[in-house]
Structure 1
């Protein structure tokens, strides 16, 4: 079973970033060169970048009419200088909404780790990049760090809403994004683990309750709130705040909570917001 602590130990011993350790491991396991793997990750990076641009600039509307245009609203308020939360947080919110709206309107995205949570990682990645001016190679390496977190989660628990609730999708994405933010900001390998743990702990127990069975409500807006949570977790970790429960144990707890969660709260649209009065009306109108 994978353990994130092993990545931390190796990174500290070799004085490398988590992403560099993951890249070397993947090269060995896949029998591909690091250059080939970087090229593939560069392609993922470009798809993420394009989905942000598309979601912010185009008039997008889902077939249900439930999703579309919210990313532009937040982005325009940010540009007006009236943002309550400042450029960093409002930028992350707008970008997360943008990518999630592209997904809901059948556009091209990168599942990170799933389609329903696709907006969190690119939102945090490009918002931190805007602040710090990271190089393309640093962004690629950071995505390998995110992959490392995601692989550990998938191995120790799962990233599926149908198996573990929304904590497994949006929670995992928040953990991956928090680790990325820390690495780009120059944090230590241990701090990436603390950031991921702090983010994931805050979303334990989150149910998957898609209205009308669509990956739209509340999914799209959860991407935005999870992106801000990831930034908060990264800020704490960079300041030296530690998670008292290590990341591997947080992931194990998430897996156990998912197994205990009733079927009605695991992507079946049979509980939570999906069966609210308005949720039922939306389902009847759409279907």
Structure 2
């Protein structure tokens, strides 16, 4: 359909789904059209920038496998190698999900050692999308070009969340960071695996709903523990929700309402549970001892 007279500057899932119905375009296609229309870029420029980000993402999933990285706080280092070492030994999660977990955790090793990552949507949740995307690409033998629709779909979901709520752990707890990243990944995988735009948002709603209430309690105030393991959880959650949705499992709460619920829950969290390192695991005896050990 010709898009010359269409306003692609959507601000919610409801608006985006209406556009999808009107134009018969996917979420990824609509996001690409929005970028061109709103920012005056060519489609080639948008895709080139996305490809650059995706290459950084993929590189960050493998760096900790090839190098001995140590986090600034000393709490992380070597986790990705340990997960990958069991892939040929009948891992409990299966080889594919184990790879997803390893890749997601590896990105946090890169981030916490001051390496190059893509904050998608935040540094603390930066392992979710790369972990899912890199593993899916390898599993289904997809090209980098074939992954660009997934990048666009994830971007659309992230944009809607930031427009109507928050992705900040300091404002909304870890549910805002990890929940958003997981929702972005779930929608993207659902769509590139043949799901409809509505199914993509259903998967995103399920993924965010599963993370509702998750607090942000980094030990010593560092994005290391429990952040790394929560990235593994966020990545796994995204794939679980995508699979349930593709199987036809019904989702009852629309995405926009789930985003609003997440925002309200985040505003209700005590400040101790919003990235201050004053509550949750950070406030445990061991958490405080680790903080003292790191900072002296």
Same fold (TM over 0.5): yes
Are positions 1:10 and 2:19 aligned together?
Answer: yes
Q: Given that residues 149 and 192 in structure 2 are in contact (C-alpha distance below 8 angstroms), is that contact kept between their aligned partners in structure 1? A: no
Alpha-carbon distance, 1:64 to partner: 2.0
| Residue equivalent to 2:265 | 257
Separation in structure 2 between the aligned mates of residue 47 and residue 59 of structure 1, nearest angstrom:
19
The aligned residue for residue 160 of structure 1 is 168
1:1-287 to 2 correspondences below 5 Å: 2-78=11-87, 80-287=88-295
RMSD: 1.1
How many residue pairs are counted as aligned between the two chains? Answer: 286
SS at match of 1:116: coil
User: Is the contact between residue 194 and residue 247 of structure 1 (CA under 8 Å) also seen in structure 2?
Assistant: yes
- 2:54 and 2:181 map into 1 onto residues whose CA distance is 16
Asked if 1 retains the 8 angstrom alpha-carbon contact of 2:190 and 2:199, the reply is: yes
- Deviation per CA, 1:179-215, whole angstroms, max 9, x where unpaired? 1111221111111101100100000010000000000
Question: Residue 206 of structure 1: SS of its match in structure 2?
Answer: coil
Measured in 1, the distance between the counterparts of 2:143 and 2:194 equals 13
Residues 132-160 of structure 1, C-alpha deviation per residue, up to 9 Å, x if partnerless? 22232221121110010001100111000
Larger CA deviation: 178-187 vs 105-114? 178-187
Structure 2 unaligned blocks of 5 or more: 1-9
> What's the TM-score once normalised by structure 1's chain length?
0.97
Three-state SS of the structure 2 residue aligned to 1:26 is helix
Moved more, 142-151 or 12-21: 12-21
> Which stretch of the first structure deviates more once superposed, 31-40 or 7-16?
7-16
Instruction: Kindly report structure 1 stretches of 4+ aligned residues shifted beyond 3 Å.
Output: none
Deviation (angstroms), 1:88? 1.7
User: Cα distance, 1:61 vs. partner?
Assistant: 0.9
1: CA distance between counterparts of 2:17 and 2:63?
Answer: 36
Unaligned segments of structure 1, at least 5 residues: none
CA contact (8 A) 2:72 2:113 kept: yes
Matched-pair contact (CA < 8 Å) for 2:202–2:251: yes
